[in-house]
Chain A
Amino acid sequence: MTSVEHLSPTSTARFSLPSKPPVGPKPNIYERNLNKTRVAEVSASSFSFLFSEVVQYTQKRVSGVNDLEKRLNTLGYRVGTRVLELTAYRAESSSKAPKRETRLLPALMAIHTQVWRAVFGKPADAIEKSVENVDEYMIIDNDPLIERHISVPKDLSGLSCSSFSAGIVEAVLDGLGFPARVTAHHTPTTTHPTRTTILIKLEKSVLEREDVLK
């Protein structure tokens, strides 16, 4: 690499500018069509930097891992309430008879596929029912997008930044009328070192209602 090339930031592909500059003023975010999902994707790298700052900001204001997870959960909750609204609008606004999930299993499946696809661009990898407790369900992501570049140091072992995703799930379940407590746990396997389990512990009232509806 010559010195001139070195000083020019556009000489390598990674620094290249967008090939087609947008024509005219960019539409205001409030004027964009909510249903256009294809162009609404954001750069994973930018998101990583933003989420990294979110974690650093939060970490400065808490003491201990539990507190940090709780705060991330709360932040995710605020995202989740909006995600539910948006996915419902995108999926049902054009239908003549809009519906919403009222039963538990379809609701969980909707989170596993639709919500995950809207937020992370791919469905989650598995959904499981706990064998020990009837009120527990698990959503499993083998490679969570938000943790792709995060290496948790040893002194914070047990921390799962997917608490943010857990907050999203909690908000969606709440919004659909299935109050639950949702937590995230790091459950690595040899093939998937960042595998994460989102544990959903439903409230008693939900199970009682499901029994009545059976």
Chain B
Amino acid sequence: MAIFGLWVINKAGGLVYQRTFADGLAQLTSNEYLVLAGTLHGIHAITSRLSPIPGQSSGAQVIEGETFKMNVLLTLTGTKFILLTSPAETSSSIDALLQKIYTAYSEKVMQNPFHTPEMPIRSEAFDVSLGALVNTGH
């Protein structure tokens, strides 16, 4: 049971926030993270069009590997929150945590006058509340 990390991808596919909470996954360079985020954005766009019922799918929600699980929360505005966890995490607790992260994002990032939308997130208050959320939840 572990929360490995969080990515926030803006609606254009750029990685605007990346943070590692626990060891367990390979450490990548910031460039590699950017490439991965862009790739995931593309995969997500494809999966959202795979549904037999047009316009009804929100795209991939979980991508699972042997050692990790990628949980995607797509917001109504197109921002994606990717939570990397161990496969043992239950989806209900992950969904709850992602919603709380989204709330923290809308408060600490979007209500901060010094944040430019779609640009990398540099907010101390967001860092602090994320730390609190991840630590208390698990």
| B74: Cβ under 8 A from any A Cβ | yes
A150→B114 contact, CB < 8 A: yes
User: A143-164 CB contact bits vs B (8 Å, 1 = yes)?
Assistant: 0000001111100100001000
Chain A residues within 8 Å of B39, by CB: none
Q: Which of B80-106 contact A (CB under 8 A)?
A: 95, 99, 103
Tell me the bound Cα distance from A152 to B113 in angstroms.
9
B111→A6 contact, CB < 8 A: no
Q: How far is the CB of A47 from chain B (nearest CB, A)?
A: 9
Tell me the bound Cα distance from A203 to B122 in angstroms.
41
The majority secondary structure among interface residues of chain B is loop
Q: Give the A interface residue count (CB, 8 A).
A: 26
Chain A residues within 8 Å of B74, by CB: 6
Chain B residues within 8 Å of A9, by CB: 76
Chain B residues within 8 Å of A49, by CB: 110-111
In the complex with contacts A1-B61, A4-B56, A151-B111 CB distance below 8 A: no
| A48: Cβ under 8 A from any B Cβ | yes
In the complex with contacts A3-B51, A3-B57, A151-B107 CB distance below 8 A: no
Query: Closest chain B residue to A50 by CB distance?
Result: B111
Tell me the bound Cα distance from A198 to B6 in angstroms.
38
User: A4-28 CB contact bits vs B (8 Å, 1 = yes)?
Assistant: 1011010010100000000000000
Q: Give the B interface residue count (CB, 8 A).
A: 23
Partner of B103, one of A14, A54, A193: A14
Partner of B125, one of A6, A53, A149: A149
Query: Closest chain A residue to B59 by CB distance?
Result: A3
| A113: Cβ under 8 A from any B Cβ | no
| A95: Cβ under 8 A from any B Cβ | no
B112→A150 contact, CB < 8 A: yes
Query: Closest chain B residue to A13 by CB distance?
Result: B99
| A59: Cβ under 8 A from any B Cβ | yes
Q: How far is the CB of A194 from chain B (nearest CB, A)?
A: 8
| A55: Cβ under 8 A from any B Cβ | yes
Query: Closest chain A residue to B98 by CB distance?
Result: A1
Could you list some 5 contacts between A and B, CB below 8 A? A1-B58, A4-B56, A14-B99, A51-B113, A152-B114
Q: Which 6 A-B pairs have the closest CB atoms?
A: A55-B113, A149-B111, A48-B111, A151-B123, A52-B113, A6-B58
Binding site for B on A (CB under 8 A): 1, 3-4, 6-7, 9, 12, 14, 45, 48-49, 51-56, 59, 149-153, 156, 161, 193
